[in-house]
Amino acid sequence: MSEEFNALLTVDDLHATVAGKPILNGLSLHVPAGEVHAIMGPNGSGKSTLAYVLAGRPGYEVSEGGATFEGRDLLALEPHERAAAGLFLGFQYPVEIPGVSYLQFLRESLNAQRRARGEAELSGGEFIKLARGQAEALGMDIEMLKRPVNVGFSGGEKKRAEMVQMGIMQPKFAVLDETDSGLDIDALRIVGEGINRIMRAPDKGVLLITHYERLLEHVRPDRVHVLQAGRITRSGNIELARDLEREGYAELA
C-alpha cells in the first residue's frame, strides 16, 4: 500500500495494557507525511493511552503489535530517544517542575536532542531569540518563560506553553493530547493557528486527539478516526467529526 510506504507513523495491531488492564485492543493507524489525523472518542476509549504508548511512558505495556516512526521501531526507543527522533507529545495535563525555569528546561532539552542528532548546540543567545519568536507567535510574553515550568500557570497558559515548546522543538511529528481542553475561544484560535504554522508541512505529521470537533475547525484534519474500546471503529473526513458532534458516540456504535 502506498499510504503505508509514505507513512511517518504506522501503528499496527497495537495492544496495550495499563496495570494489567487491556486498554488498546488492536489499533492500527497510518499517518503519511504532510497529513493531520484526528482521533476522537469517548472517555476511556484509550485516547490518552495511545498518546502515552507512542511517547514511551513507563507503565504502558505493549502486549502485541507495534509502531514504527519513519520506518524505525518506535517502541524500542527510550522516551528521550523518541524526542530526538522528532516525536513530540503535547500533554493533556502539563506537569509542574518547581525551581526550574521554562527557558532552562527547554534549552537543556533542545540541546540534548541536538546532541543526540549530532547537531551543534544552540548558544544562550540563539536560544533566547528562538524562544522569544515562538512565544510571541503564540501571544505569550517571554517573561512567562522565565518562571518555573508550569508553576502557577492557568490551564490555558499551560496548553499555550505546550505549543511554544512544540515551536521551539520543531518536531517531525506531534501527538497532541486534548490540547484544546481548557481553552477559551480566542485561545483555541491562537493554538489552532500555532499548530498549522508549526506542523503544516509536507514532511511533517500530526495526530490530534480530541473530544470535540471545535479545534478541527481551526486545524482541518485530513482524516478523522473514531476510537472506541481500544480500537478504531470508523474513519472518515471532517464530516465524520461533525456528525459525532451532533449525534454523539453512542449513535455510531
Which stretches of the chain bind other proteins, using CB under 8 A? 55-59, 78-80, 82-84, 89, 91, 94-100, 104-106, 108-110, 112-113, 116, 148, 165, 169
Determine the Cα–Cα distance for residues 63 and 228; give it in Å rounded to an integer: 19
- Looking at beta carbons only, is 31 or 169 nearer to other proteins? 169
The least CB distance from residue 193 to other proteins, in Å, is 23
Q: Which residues of 40-78 are buried (b: 16+ CB within 10 A; e: fewer)?
A: bbbeebbbbbbbbbbbbeeebeeeebebbbbeeebbebe
The least CB distance from residue 51 to other proteins, in Å, is 10
The least CB distance from residue 160 to other proteins, in Å, is 16
The least CB distance from residue 56 to other proteins, in Å, is 8
Task: Please tell me whether residue 14 adopts helix, strand or coil conformation.
Answer: strand
Are 40 and 241 in contact by the 8 Å Cβ rule? The answer is: yes
> Is the Cα torsion angle 203, 208, 213, 218 positive or negative in sign?
negative
Q: Nine-digit cell at 109?
A: 532539552
- Looking at beta carbons only, is 98 or 125 nearer to other proteins? 98
The least CB distance from residue 163 to other proteins, in Å, is 14
Q: Which residues of 198-229 are buried (b: 16+ CB within 10 A; e: fewer)?
A: bbeeeebbbbbbbbebebbebbebebbbbbbe
- Looking at beta carbons only, is 75 or 97 nearer to other proteins? 97
The least CB distance from residue 7 to other proteins, in Å, is 22
- Looking at beta carbons only, is 51 or 241 nearer to other proteins? 51
Bridge partners, residue 172, by sequence: none
- What single-letter amino acid sits at 246? R
- Looking at beta carbons only, is 8 or 84 nearer to other proteins? 84
The least CB distance from residue 87 to other proteins, in Å, is 8
Are 38 and 208 in contact by the 8 Å Cβ rule? The answer is: yes
- Looking at beta carbons only, is 80 or 129 nearer to other proteins? 80
- What single-letter amino acid sits at 44? G
- Looking at beta carbons only, is 74 or 84 nearer to other proteins? 84
